[in-house]
C-alpha cells in the first residue's frame, strides 16, 4: 500500500487476533511498529514475529500511568494510531452488572477517546497529517442479543470517528473506523460451535472472516491510497450488513 513503508504505526491490542494480524501486515509493508497490549513481551510472543522495527509497550489502555507511557512514546513521533483493543462482557440487561458495563465502556470507548485525544495533539504539532483508525463492529448497526454494553461502545466509536474527522480534517488528520463482521479470532472462537455455525450461515459469503482481511482494510485506510477518505466506517463483513 502506498506510503506505509515510511510510517510509524501504533496498534493497541496487538498481541492477539486482529491486532496481531494488523501488526504483521504493517510490518510486511515496511512500517515501524509500536505495539501495545497487556501481557509481558515474552508472553506476547511478539518479539520473535517482529525482530526489528518494533517497540512493545506493556500497557492497559484504561490505566492512567500506562496512558502516560504511551503519550511519551507518541511524542517521539508517529503517523498512524489503530485503536484496536476491545473486550466483551456479555449478558442480557437483566443480568448485566455495573462492572460488566463499566469495563467494556472503559476499554472500547473511553480509551479510544483518550488515545485519540493524545494522538491528535501530537499529530497536529507534527504538522504532517496522520491517520486514526478505530475498531467498531457490525453489531453497532443492528444490535446484538446480550451485548448492550459492547454495542453501545461500538456505536459510540462510529459517532466519535465521524466527529473527530470533522474536527481534525483541517489539519490533514484522517479518522476512520472499520466494522468487522464475524472474524475468526480468540474473541469469537470462544463462542459455542452452534452459534458460530449459525453466524456463518447468516453471512452471504457463508464463512467467517480472517483477521488478515481486517488487517488489509486497516492498511488501505492508513495508506496514501485512501488519502481522500475520512469520517467513514467501512464494513468488512462478507456482506452481512448491506445498505
Ligand atoms: N473478532 C471479531 O469478530 C470482531 C468483530 C467486530 C469487532 N471486533 C473488534 O476488533 C477488535 C479486536 O478484536 P479481536 O477479535 O482481535 O479480539 P482479541 O480478544 O483476539 O484481541 C484483543 C486484544 O486486546 C487486548 N486488550 C484487551 N483489553 C485491553 C486493555 N485494557 N489494554 C490493552 N490491551 C487490551 C487483549 O489483551 C487482546 O490481545 C476489538 O475491538 C473487537 O471489538 C472483533
Give residue 222's pLDDT band: very low, low, confident or very high (50, 70, 90): very high
Tens of pLDDT, residues 32-44: 999 999 999 999 9
- Nearest protein CA to atom 30 of ligand 1, as residue: 60
pLDDT in tens, 149-174: 999 999 999 999 999 999 999 999 99
What is the dotted CATH code of the domain comprising 4-236?
3.40.50.720
Q: For residue 144, how far is its CA from the centre of ligand 1 (angstroms)? A: 17
Q: Of all atoms in ligand 1, which is nearest to the CA of residue 60?
A: 32
Of the residues 27, 56, 150, 218, only one is catalytic, namely 150
Average pLDDT over the chain reads: 97
Question: Which position has the grid cell 456479555?
Answer: 90
Q: How many C-beta neighbours within 10 Å does residue 144 have? A: 16
pLDDT attached to residue 109: 99
| Ligand 1 atom with minimal separation from the 83 CA | 41
Identify whether 27 is a catalytic site residue.
no
Distance CA 59, CA 39 (A): 8
CA 112, CA 177: separation in Å to the nearest integer? 11
Dump pLDDT digits (tens) for 52-75: 999 999 999 999 999 999 999 999
Nearest-CA residue for atom 10 of ligand 1? 135
238 CA to middle of ligand 1, Å? 19
pLDDT of 56 reads 98
Residue 79 pLDDT class (50, 70, 90 cuts): very high
Alpha-carbon distance 217 to 194, whole Å? 28
Q: What is the DSSP letter of 106?
A: I
Residue nearest to atom 9 of ligand 1 (CA): 135
pLDDT value at 12 more than 90: yes
* Pocket lined around ligand 1, Cβ cut-off 6 Å: 12-13, 15-19, 37-38, 60-62, 84-87, 107, 135, 137, 180, 182-183, 185-188
Pairing verdict, β 32-37 and 130-135: unpaired
Report the percentage of the chain scoring pLDDT > 70. 100
For ligand 1, atom 36, the nearest C-alpha belongs to 13
For residue 191, the model assigns a pLDDT of: 86
**Is the model's pLDDT at 188 over the cut of 90?**
no
- Report the separation in Å between the CA atom of 121 and the middle of ligand 1, taken as the mean of its atom positions: 25
Distance CA 141, CA 147 (A): 13
Q: Are the CB atoms for 70 and 59 separated by under 8 Å?
A: yes
Domain positions in the chain are 4-236
The Å distance, Cα 3 to ligand 1 centre, comes to 26
More confident site: 243 or 55: 55
Pick the residue with more confidence: 199 or 221? 221
Q: Which atom of ligand 1 is closest in space to residue 19's alpha carbon? A: 16
225 pLDDT band, cuts 50/70/90, is very high
Atom of ligand 1 at shortest range from CA of 136? 7
**pLDDT value for 31:** 98
Distance CA 25, CA 46 (A): 13
Q: Which three cell numbers stand for residue 28?
A: 510486511
pLDDT band (50, 70, 90) for residue 135: very high
Amino acid at each position: 500500500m502506498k506510503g506505509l513503508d515510511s510510517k510509524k504505526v501504533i496498534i493497541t491490542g496487538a498481541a492477539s487476533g486482529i491486532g496481531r494480524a494488523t501488526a504483521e501486515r504493517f510490518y510486511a509493508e515496511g512500517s515501524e511498529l509500536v505495539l501495545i497490549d497487556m501481557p509481558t513481551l515474552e508472553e506476547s510472543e511478539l518479539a520473535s514475529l517482529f525482530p526489528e522495527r518494533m517497540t512493545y509497550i506493556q500497557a492497559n489502555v484504561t490505566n492512567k500511568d500506562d496512558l502516560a507511557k504511551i503519550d511519551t512514546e507518541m511524542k517521539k513521533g508517529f503517523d498512524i494510531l489503530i485503536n484496536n483493543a476491545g473486550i466483551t462482557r456479555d449478558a442480557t440487561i437483566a443480568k448485566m452488572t455495573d462492572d460488566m458495563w463499566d469495563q467494556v465502556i472503559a476499554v472500547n470507548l473511553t480509551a479510544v477517546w483518550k488515545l485519540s485525544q493524545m494522538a491528535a495533539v501530537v499529530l497536529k504539532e507534527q504538522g504532517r497529517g496522520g491517520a486514526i483508525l478505530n475498531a467498531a463492529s457490525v453489531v453497532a448497526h443492528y444490535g446484538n442479543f446480550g451485548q448492550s454494553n459492547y454495542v453501545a461502545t461500538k456505536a459510540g466509536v462510529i459517532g466519535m470517528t465521524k466527529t473527530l474527522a470533522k474536527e481534525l480534517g483541517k489539519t490533514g488528520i484522517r479518522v476512520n473506523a472499520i466494522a468487522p463482521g464475524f472474524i475468526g479470532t480468540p474473541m469469537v472462537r470462544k463462542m459455542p460451535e452452534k452459534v458460530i455455525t449459525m453466524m456463518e450461515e447468516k453471512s452471504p459469503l457463508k464463512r467467517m472472516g480472517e483477521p488478515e482481511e481486517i488487517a488489509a482494510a486497516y492498511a488501505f485506510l492508513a495508506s496514501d491510497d485512501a488519502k481522500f477518505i475520512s469520517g467513514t466506517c467501512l464494513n468488512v463483513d462478507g456482506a452481512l450488513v448491506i445498505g
